[in-house]
A and B are shown apart, each in its own frame.
Chain A
Amino acid sequence: MRKMQATFIVNGVRYDTLVDTHALLVEVLRDELGYGGVHESCGSGDCGACTVLVDGIPILSCVTLAVTVRDREITTIEGLAKGNTLDPLQKSFMEKGALQCGYCTPGMILTAKGLLNKNPNPTSQEIKDGLAGNLCRCTGYKKILEAVTDAAKGGE
């Protein structure tokens, strides 16, 4: 088992680590660095639950080798709020009731964040296309669509 020195920048904090070269990003974030908001479900890139942002772009941490994103800016759900001030997406997910069990929520919010980073005023269809890789078993997606639409409007 090979290990290597790697620096991860997570939510603005630098971590100098010695990691297995074959470790997945989800494992490093969750098990080594303690970011419990990174949720793994399928382990094969089918559900989107483990999504995190790398340099503002959503990626699937369950199918990403950790060392491939060393020295990059990683954002997990824990890094989205500024202190006690929630991101507009977090606020709108709460207010619109866009979550139930909440297991898909971190990945869903971060995917939406990535979408809004790229396209601050998406159409309804663009939001749907952007979230198509994130499965939710609870909500039927209606309130998720409303929440993202609402957060995008607030950001105008």
Chain B
Amino acid sequence: MQNELKVVGKRFPLKESYDKVTGKAEYCTTVSLPGMLVGKVLRSPHAHARILKIDASKAEAIPGVKAVVTGKDVPQKIFTINVMTYQLPDGEPQDMFLFGDEVRYVGEPVAAVAAVNEEVARAALAAIDVAYEVLPAVFDIEAAVQEGAPQVHGNVPGNVPVPPTPVFCYGDAEKGFGESDAVVEGVYSTSKQIQAGLENACSVADYRNGRLTVWSQIQLPHMAKRMLAYMFDLTESAVRVIQPYAGCGFGAGTDLCAEHISAALTIKAGAPVKTKFYRNEDFANRITREHIAKIHMKLGLKQDGTPKALQARYTGDAGAYVCKMASGCGVSLASNITEYEFESMHQEIEVIYTNHLACGAMRGFGGMQSSFVRETLVDEACAKIGMDPVLFRKKYHRGVGGLGWFPSTAISSCGLDECLDVGAEKIGWKDKWGKMISDGPIKRGVGVAAMGWLSGAQPMLLEHSNATLKFNEDGGCSLIVSPGNLGQGIAGSLAQIAAEALGIDYDDINVLLGDTDVTGFDIGTHASRGCYCIGLAVQKAAGMAREKFLARAAAKLEVNPEDLEMKDKKIFVTAEPEKTVNYKDIAFDLIYNYEKNCEQLVVHATVEPTDFAPPWQAGFAEIEVDTETGVVKVVKWITVHDIGKAINPTIVEGQLEGGTAQGIGFALFEDPIISPENGAMLTDGFDKYKIPTILDMPEHETILVELGDPTGPFGAKSVGESGLFLQAPAIANAIYDAVGVRMRDVPMTPEKVLAALKAKTDNPDN
């Protein structure tokens, strides 16, 4: 079957690449509407305060100011910017008010203005008088749970919205540890990484004649529509969300950023409003990676490697609002289940409020933290029993039919053995691991890590996707779908799936997305689901269209539809291939039938996928540690990814290569610094929060393993988040190989590496 593929597996350019290389692509930041006003947000200077009074009269009197909105101007309803809340029957916690009477972090919106230009808008912000009663605040999860700690939310005593809760436990972990020959444990911390897409947070909203239209960078447009309708007492049908190309994403688009603020402003001003964050506002106020601040994990293995027990607790520093903190911790522990055949597991999550900026989701949601901790601790356990960590992984990873990431799930395919073999060969594992001895200050090491992930969060969440195909008279068609529009290449990949299934060309398909008035419902882009889940809807719709074409051709050829085949734009009788009709002629006949038999062919498919089709991956790092400066340099990085089938290899590689950059940043130098005095994000620019430049990238290589998955469209599994899981653990393991220290905090900055080296010198037995 795979040999016959004509469109799937080919390296087509992104559907949107012409627009993007010529400067014609429209983004929220480039949308311009007649009479559009500039929106700006007034933010709290206090980490925790009650708002006693807001006097906006001076601001409103400034010529050119068209609206000032405060809590009095919007319905005071409890909500969350985390629109993914609608994917669970009981939702995720909602604990926010728009311009509410209490602020809980530095930067929380207090009011907003709309004015004719930026200068007037800034003058208006400066003219708003706010009287605050400053309240005590807390900036540390340990301090937040002490008796007498400041209360972030009055209705959540003790600052613990989610107390320690066991999730998905099985077997008897205590017994497992008792039977283990090697037990290792550690307390780890991970960072509140910033998504840092190049386009600043921005939205445009236009309220007219009772309808609200919002241009948004959101990855989940239909659920953003529902939240905005709820917040402003509108019907869902009165809200339209348009997604231009988004120059940011990586999970940042799973929460509202400025949509609700622009909406409040346009409803009051009666004119369109664009609210664009400055870069420092974007870094300091757009919610970040789920911040699993503390992870305590313990593993037990038999001497032969048999994995007996895994125990872990994930503690999330939610910041001021829960958003996705509980689900982030939950996904983290769930993804531990997939990897190895532990006989028992006991894992808990816990979420604590502080007066920090809340956190949302970033690419690799929860999996970054599980892979960093689990994969380094596995390395430690292997060292203790004297087993090659590549061999351990090959021997004890779960395989087809094994337990997946969630109770009741089963693994549909697994190419991890191939990934490990290919990667080990490429990096030269046998010759290098434990064998690169040097007398100088620069030490070399290699490290490995592995993971299994998911293609959509089945069966945890609502997984509802749709695809519509509308055919033209030449057989070309519009494919109407509703993913995020982030540049991930989804439009082209879905077009390849449709074209392959219909036997037509890539260029025959125009993809329409990004308008909730046009597209069917979809939960959107997150959890690495787009190509797999929406792809299944597209494949199903294409199959339905094919049936329609065959039925019409059968009538023309006076045979039964089941006697026909459709291939290369021809429909022919299987037994008599010379008996044929052109696909194009049938398409033409559907539209221009002069014998009263016209039909506009529009097919529509809904899917709710049930499998989670895990992609697997092995990552290998070769690094140098400068023992005098603590600087870790990645010399070589290898990703070997089990993609099932690459619909478009260029796009798959691009996802993985981009992930490598973000993963190296996460591992070594992306370091969000949060003020211990007021909880504010101090690294609020590209000059302070360093993301990798082209000069920071090592030699890196991406290799795809394509063994097919029985549940995926043409065998495909996911890649969206997979690129960045393994750099931190593999680099940490390579650091151990090089200098014999275990790193437990990311980013592994030179200061931390030096401190670890010093601790080892001071106390060689540890």
Contacts and interface: CB of A to CB of B under 8 A. Distances in A.
Given A101-B249, A103-B248, A43 B486 contact: no
Interface in A105-130: 105-106, 109, 128-129
A47 interface: yes
B22 A138 contact: no
A76 B24 CA distance: 12
B121 to A, nearest CB: 14
A103 B489 CA distance: 14
B511 to A, nearest CB: 16
B198 A104 contact: yes
B21 A105 contact: yes
B718 interface: no
Interface stretch (A2-10, A32-40, A53-61, A63-71): A32-40
B16 interface: yes
A99 B14 contact: yes
B394 interface: no
Contact of A141 (B22, B24, B488, B697): B697
Given A93-B21, A101-B486, A102-B20, A47 B198 contact: yes
Given A39-B198, A47-B198, A102 B487 contact: yes
Interface residues of A, number: 52
Nearest to A43: B279
A41 B200 contact: yes
Interface in A70-94: 76-78, 80-81, 86, 90, 93-94
A154 interface: no
B629 interface: no
Contacts of B24: 36-37, 78
Contact of A129 (B20, B651, B695): B695
Given A36-B26, A86-B21, A100-B488, A94 B196 contact: no
B658 A137 contact: yes
Given A135-B686, A137-B196, A137-B250, A97 B22 contact: no
A49 B20 CA distance: 13
B21 A90 contact: yes
Contact of A94 (B21, B30, B685, B700): B21
A68 to B, nearest CB: 21
A16 interface: no
Nearest to A103: B247
A80 B21 CA distance: 9
Given A86-B21, A140-B658, A135 B693 contact: yes
Interface string B220-240: 000000000000000000000
A42 B685 contact: yes
A55 to B, nearest CB: 20
Interface stretch (B418-426, B519-527, B560-568, B659-667): B659-667
A25 interface: no
B17 interface: yes
A102 B196 CA distance: 14
Contacts of A28: none
Contact of A42 (B249, B279, B695): B279
A142 B657 contact: yes
B71 interface: no
A152 interface: no
A40 B22 contact: no
B141 to A, nearest CB: 29
Contact of B22 (A86, A101, A144): A86
Nearest to B283: A42
A125 B246 CA distance: 31
List 7 A-B pairs, minimum CB-CB distance, nearest first: A37-B23, A103-B247, A102-B20, A101-B487, A140-B657, A77-B23, A100-B487
